[in-house]
Structure 1
Amino acid sequence: MFKTYHIKPMSISTQLMLVVALLCFGFNLKAQSLSELKTTSAENNLNLKAQFKAFEAQLEGVTQAKSWQDPNLSFGYFISPIETRVGPQIARFSLTQMLPWFGTYKAKGDIAAFRAEAEYEKFQDQKLKLYLEVAQQYYDLSALRHIADLEAKQLRILKDLKSVIESNYENNKANLVDILRVELQIDKQLSVIQVLKDQDQALVTQLNQLMNRQLKTPVLISNPKQILEEKEVMQTDSVSKNHPRLEAIRQLQKSNKAESELAKKQAMPQFGLGLDYAIIQDRNVQNADAGQDALMPMLSVSLPIFGKKNKSRKKEALLQGESLQFQLENEKTRLESEIQVAHYKQDELYSLLDLYDKQLLNLKDILQLSEVALANASMEIEEVLRLEEERLLYEKQRVRTLANLHKTDETLSYLTSNSEL
């Protein structure tokens, strides 16, 4: 005998809680655009954070460079007091402050400030490179998922072909081996789809690593096909005048000029201001100044008579300046070369895209005719499978070409960016 259980309906409050939970889950898994992924990576990427901390550490050097030298305080005690007219001298305090030539501290501060600016430009370049890497991973993932959709579509086509062959077999218009041949293709297609799922997870892991979040966090892309079909051609042919890679060298050049100025300042004498305080013991001698401590202001000047090191400093700054100028010219040439290579690649990809579009258009007509012929048993299944495989191959190549076009556009965007982004 069966027992009957009555299930109570959920209360309204429970239903509302479930709805809210589903909504929250849906918002957490909403698709993110490329710009949102770039922003997330800029906020969380560990390598970028390390670069910014390096800039902040370099910035602290400005305060250190502009700070005065610490004064020197010395104390001396005479084991055998020195007799003076007003009494024996038993101890002495000395306080000395060295002062460099006028403008020395400013030059040191400028050197540190310009080096900090160069470090900031490196941070800017690192951020732009991170954006480029995120974009490349994003378009690779979009292409992979679009290809997965094409492979799933191919699986449905193979199953439809199997139904046609089975129908022909029942009517003695096909052989059993034809059915087995299609089944082999279906098994192969299922294996390909599984491999694509594994590759998808690998790309998601790499993208999450760039954003410094849980490696298995889902990355949702609303419409991979639509994203890849959006074509934007970068027309810029010239290097940005203030690209971070160039600005970093320019800031080092400014630092080098400040170093040249500092070398001149260090060739000048330094001044020292001091104060001596001597403690005199009172021995009740008959003198109005007996036992009165002595106070003596002092002035000292360094004598930069050994000029070799100063000449070496100036020559070092000059040679470093020439080296930086060569680096700047070389970096400009490299950027221009990379831009030209990206444009050549862009033209090549557009030519391939036109070729694939033409091939797919021709194959579409051929396949329509071949499907009719297969249904009438006037065409072998091997030829139909070959045509379907060829069509799938061109479709996948077209998808990869579209992804490479977007990646090339992102590369051009990086190469023509400026440090203000």
Structure 2
Amino acid sequence: MKNKAHNLKLVVVLVFGCLSVVAQAQSLDLLIEEALQNNPEIQKFELQYRIASEKVNEVNAIPNTEFAVGYFISEPETRTGAQRARFSVKQMLPWFGNIGARENYVSSLADAKYEDIVIAKRKLISSVSQSYYNLYSNKAKQQVLKENIKLLETYETLALTSVEAGKASAVDVLRLQMRQNEMQQLREVLQQQFLSEQTNLNNLLNRDNTVSVQLVAELLIPTEDVEINSPQLALHPELLKYDKLYKSVEQSELLNQKESSPMIGFGLDYIPVSERTDMNLMDNGKDIVMPMVSVSIPIFNKKYKSVSKQNELQQQEINYQKQERLNSLETLLNKAISERISARISNATATKNLKQAKDAENILIKSYETGTIDFKDVLDIQELQLKFQMNQIETVKTYYMQTTIINYLIQ
């Protein structure tokens, strides 16, 4: 009887000791790097930024040069001869600084578009990290269930021996078997959820869904947290984008002022003239060359006043949007900090409870030496152990999930 009790205790130690083994795993940093290189959403935003940047060359142009040709069906007679046709060329030029204002405006829009890339990359890093931690939590729970099933099998063997000795009921064996069935069912459900989450992570990396993800065997909550500097939140790209949008409206207003200025045009008319044959005159048949200068003045400039008013209102709107988003990010940051602290507290409690549950298990093992083991108590203690182990894994996942959110906000 003492040998059986010793063997049972050894099995328990080996089962739970496996939790401390660290296996070779794929680095989360490498997964993030691969995602940043291959994710189609990032590539989409990068192309949008390149398109916005290319528009600088589009606006760096003057209006088209106008060419005109006219032929007189009925040639008008002049003193020096009949006019046969008219050839015209005309070029309008924007006012000084107009083209530069356009370039500055389009460049400011491209700068705002660049922040979309930074935001998308931060969100991708957060998504990859959270998916990784979900996979870790799932795998750790599967391992705990596997170990507990093996432990229950050991208890089942002892129960069968006790039944033969008349010290236990067959009902105790059935209870142990039913508990194993429940745990096996939960493990199989977790396996399916793992495959689903693995597909999600592979899609974030834009690779084949069947690629297996290797995970760390154990994640521990660090003894201390890195100090969080709340003012860093003001440098978040979601907020910087509003600053750049505000600047783009400023550039839009400068452009509006330039476009309300006159446009100046230069041209040339050329009219070929036929010689008169009925008389000999000075400049007989001399062609006409007429340089021209034109000015386009926006006399009715209500349009530009309206655009200025719209720009002013848009700047106010951007300021309100930025303040609203800042409030939301501050709330999110404070919530993440609070939940991470709660996760640390809960993890410490779960660790303490798990130790006490193991102490209770040791007491039951020792009671087996006297033949007074109660398998109902065994199931109760085993259920508590499983609950505390699951809670421990969940608190670790919660800690790292909240850390991911904090990193998104302040790094």
Is TM-score (shorter-chain normalized) higher than 0.5? yes
Counterpart residue number, 2:356:
362
Q: Distance in 1 between matches of 2:365 and 2:270?
A: 111
Choose which of 329, 332, 341 in structure 2 pairs with 1:338.
Answer: 332
Residue-by-residue CA offset, 1:169-188 (whole Å, 9 max, x unaligned): 22221122222222222222
Is 1:238 aligned to 2:236, yes or no? no
User: Are residues 1:125 and 2:122 paired?
Assistant: no
The aligned amino acid for 1:201 is L
Tell me which of 267, 270, 274 is aligned to 2:263.
270
Q: In 1, distance between residues paired with 2:330 and 2:211?
A: 38
AA partner of residue 150 (structure 2): R
Q: Equivalent of 1:40, from 34, 37, 40?
A: 34
Output the amino acid matched with 2:108: F
Distance 1:239 1:202 in 2: 38
Give TM-score scaled by structure 2 length.
0.89
Structure 2 unaligned spans of 5+: 1-23
How far residue 107 of structure 1 moved from its aligned partner, in angstroms, is 1.0
Residue 97 of structure 2 is matched in structure 1 by 103
Question: 347, 350, 354: which is aligned to 1:353?
Answer: 347
Amino acid across the alignment from 1:259: S
> Which amino acid is 1:296 matched to?
M
Separation of aligned partners in 1, 2:217 and 2:283? 98
Q: Give the equivalent residue in structure 2 for 1:382.
A: 376
Pairing of 1:387-398 with structure 2 (within 5 A): 387-398=381-392
Match of 2:247 in 1: 254
Rounded Cα–Cα distance in structure 2 between residues aligned with 1:330 and 1:189:
47
**Aligned amino acid, residue 236 of structure 2:** H
- The separation in 1 between residues aligned to 2:282 and 2:153, in whole angstroms, is 123
- Sequence identity percentage: 29
Residues 1:327 and 2:321 aligned together: yes
2:217 to 199, 215, 224: 224
What CA distance in whole angstroms lies between the structure 1 residues aligned with 2:36 and 2:341?
31
**Which residue of 2 is the match for residue 316 of structure 1?**
310
Equivalent pair of 2:62/2:94 in contact (CA under 8 Å): no
Q: Would you say the 8 A contact 1:374–1:381 is kept in 2?
A: no
Q: How far apart, CA to CA, are the structure 2 residues paired with 1:287 and 1:374? A: 139
Q: If the length of structure 1 is used for normalisation, what is the TM-score?
A: 0.87
AA of the residue aligned to 2:70: G
> 1:327: how far off?
2.1
Deviation at 1:298, TM superposition (A): 0.9
Distance 1:344 1:135, change over 3 A: same
Give the superposition deviation at 1:133. 0.6
Partner amino acid, structure 2, of 1:392 = L
Q: Secondary structure at the match of 2:76?
A: strand
**3-state DSSP of counterpart to 1:272:** strand
1:289, CA displacement in angstroms?
A: 2.8
Structure 2 residue 400 is matched with structure 1 residue 406: yes
**Contact 2:221/2:399 (CA < 8 Å) preserved in 1?**
no
Alpha-carbon distance in 1 for matches of 2:290, 2:296? 20
Deviation string, structure 1 residues 368-395 (Cα, Å, up to 9, x no partner): 1112224543132122111101111111
Query: Partners in 2 of 1:75 and 1:370 — Cα distance?
Result: 109
Supply the distance in 1 between the matched residues of 2:195 and 2:118 (Cα, whole angstroms): 30
CA-based RMSD = 1.8
Is the 8 Å Cα contact of residues 65 and 109 (structure 1) preserved in structure 2?
A: yes
Stretches (4+) displaced over 4 A:
228-232
Give 1:174's match in structure 2, choosing from 168, 177, 190.
168
Task: Please report how far the alpha carbon of residue 193 of structure 1 lies from its aligned counterpart in structure 2 after TM superposition.
Answer: 2.0
Q: Aligned with 1:79: secondary structure?
A: coil
Q: In structure 1, how many angstroms separate the alpha carbons of the residues matched to 2:224 and 2:206?
A: 29
CA distance in 1, matches of 2:345, 2:386: 19
Higher mean Cα deviation, 314-323 or 395-404? 314-323
| CA displacement at 1:230 relative to structure 2 | 4.8
Amino acid at match of 1:304: P
Answer yes or no: is the 8 Å Cα contact 1:100–1:270 preserved in 2. yes
2:152 aligned partner? 158
Counterpart code for 1:113? S
Q: What is the letter of the counterpart of residue 92 of structure 2?
A: M
Aligned residues: 386
Asked whether the equivalents of residues 138 and 194 of structure 2 are also in contact (C-alpha less than 8 Å), the reply is yes
The 2-side partners of 1:270 and 1:68 are apart by 11
SS of alignment partner, residue 285 of structure 2: coil
- Per-residue Cα deviation, 1:13-32 (whole angstroms, up to 9, x for no partner): xxxxxxxxxxxxxxxxx842
